[in-house]
């Protein structure tokens, strides 16, 4: 499995991760945590109880540490970690949106024998004053290497892995998304190899996970392909005040009979409080290269005939 840094894990979460367990290798040791993603829908004053499991899939005993970080949406589907120290210094910004302050989990050094795992209970207490909408944090685990335990020095940690928590506090929740782009790279193609670009922005106050299809129709209005968006995955979420971009490649049948004008119909649904619908059609042309060459040849031949006919007409009529 690829070596990934923690920030890459979060970037992939609003794009491609679908495995139930994520592992990272560093200094010849490996670490994994599950679940990768937990979605919680809860009311103010309620408590949620769950757990995370940390795996030591190494042939030696190891110590682990656990820490929590808050994050929010960033540009192009990325996430932005929140520096609580900056928030504490700010007069205008409160801390009521920080999920980490409501999470209880063991943050002491954790010993896990070789090739075993440790389950840590997690409890989230939502206060009555909690505002509605999305709150986001990650429970991260890191390996404490033996050389980190030098007396009189601060503990250093290895690269970590995390369990994402997407929590929605029920109340006056706004679920609102806008389709900023649905397009093809070109309008005319000489072969049925078409790339679709889709960009959706979440203007609400909680995360959404749009799902849907792109249906492609030929010139006879016959459906020739269906592309699924966010199918069979719990990832692909869009955090509030951020957006996400998708790219899809369609490779159709290269045939003279398939030439003509095509339509791509996008249909997306999202929302937990009420199902919202987004739909849009775009058009493009597929004219195979052999047809283009043939038509060009016919045009040039006709121009040649007209030119020759005009030449003889002028020569003999004069």
User: What pLDDT score does 196 carry?
Assistant: 96
Q: Does 304 lie in the same domain as 274?
A: no
Looking at 169, 195, 212, the residue that finishes a domain is: 169
Looking at 139, 169, 199, the residue that finishes a domain is: 169
The two beta strands, 37-42 and 160-169, are parallel
* CATH at residue 106: 2.60.40.10
HSE-CB at 125 with a 13 A cutoff on CA atoms is 4
pLDDT tens-digit profile of 26-45?
456 778 999 999 999 999 99
Q: Do 169 and 131 contact (CB within 8 A), yes or no? A: yes
Q: Do 184 and 58 contact (CB within 8 A), yes or no? A: no
pLDDT tens-digit profile of 93-102?
555 678 999 9
Helix (H, G, I), strand (E, B) or coil at 43: coil
Q: Does 57 lie in the same domain as 19?
A: yes
What's the chain's average pLDDT? 81
Domains: count for the chain: 3
Q: Does 185 lie in the same domain as 112?
A: no
Q: Do 122 and 51 contact (CB within 8 A), yes or no? A: yes
DSSP H helical ranges for the chain: 6-13, 84-89, 289-317
Q: Does 142 lie in the same domain as 57?
A: yes
pLDDT tens-digit profile of 286-304?
987 665 556 666 777 777 7
Confidence of residue 16 (pLDDT cuts 50, 70, 90): very low
Q: Does 140 lie in the same domain as 93?
A: yes
Q: Does 209 lie in the same domain as 154?
A: no
Please state, in angstroms and rounded to a whole number, the distance separating the CA atoms of residues 71 and 162. 12
pLDDT tens-digit profile of 152-203?
444 444 567 899 999 999 998 999 999 999 999 999 998 889 999 999 999 9
pLDDT tens-digit profile of 243-257?
999 999 999 877 777
User: What pLDDT score does 2 carry?
Assistant: 40
Domain annotation covers residue 85: yes
User: What pLDDT score does 292 carry?
Assistant: 56
User: What pLDDT score does 211 carry?
Assistant: 94
Looking at 126, 148, 169, the residue that finishes a domain is: 169
Domain annotation covers residue 1: no
Q: Does 184 lie in the same domain as 137?
A: no
C-alpha 83 chain-centroid distance: 23
Its domain, for residue 230, covers 177-287
Provide the whole-model pTM: 0.74
Q: Does 255 lie in the same domain as 277?
A: yes
Q: Does 299 lie in the same domain as 235?
A: no
Q: Does 206 lie in the same domain as 159?
A: no
Indicate if the pLDDT at residue 150 is higher than 50. no
Domain annotation covers residue 76: yes
């Amino acid at each position: 499995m690829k070596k990934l840094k923690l920030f890459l894990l979060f970037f992939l979460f609003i794009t491609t991760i679908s495995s139930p367990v994520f592992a990272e290798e560093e200094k010849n040791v490996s670490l994994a945590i599950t679940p990768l993603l937990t979605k919680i829908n809860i009311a103010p004053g309620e408590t949620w109880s769950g757990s995370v499991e940390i795996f030591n899939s190494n042939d030696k005993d190891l110590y682990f540490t656990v820490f929590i970080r808050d994050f929010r949406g960033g540009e192009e589907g990325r996430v932005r970690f929140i520096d609580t120290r900056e928030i504490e210094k700010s007069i205008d910004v409160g801390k009521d949106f920080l999920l980490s302050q409501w999470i209880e989990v063991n943050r002491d050094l954790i010993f896990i024998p070789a090739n075993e795992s440790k389950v840590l209970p997690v409890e989230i207490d939502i206060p009555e004053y909690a505002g509605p909408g999305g709150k986001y944090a990650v429970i991260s685990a890191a390996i404490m290497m033996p050389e980190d335990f030098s007396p009189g020095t601060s503990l250093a940690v290895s690269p970590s892995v995390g369990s994402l928590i997407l929590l929605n506090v029920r109340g006056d929740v706004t679920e609102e998304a806008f389709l900023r782009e649905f397009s093809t790279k070109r309008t005319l193609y000489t072969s049925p190899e078409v790339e679709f670009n889709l960009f959706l922005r979440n203007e609400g106050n909680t995360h959404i996970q749009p799902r849907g299809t792109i249906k492609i129709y030929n010139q006879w209005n016959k459906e020739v392909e269906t592309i699924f968006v966010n199918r069979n995955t719990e990832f692909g979420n869009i955090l509030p005040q951020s957006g996400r971009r998708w790219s899809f490649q369609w490779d159709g049948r290269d045939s003279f009979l398939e030439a003509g004008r095509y339509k791509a119909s996008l249909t997306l649904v999202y929302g937990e409080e009420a199902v919202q619908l987004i739909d849009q059609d775009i058009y493009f042309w597929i004219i195979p290269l052999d047809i283009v060459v043939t038509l060009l040849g016919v045009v040039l031949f006709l121009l040649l005939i007209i030119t020759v006919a005009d030449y003889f007409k002028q020569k003999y009529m004069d």
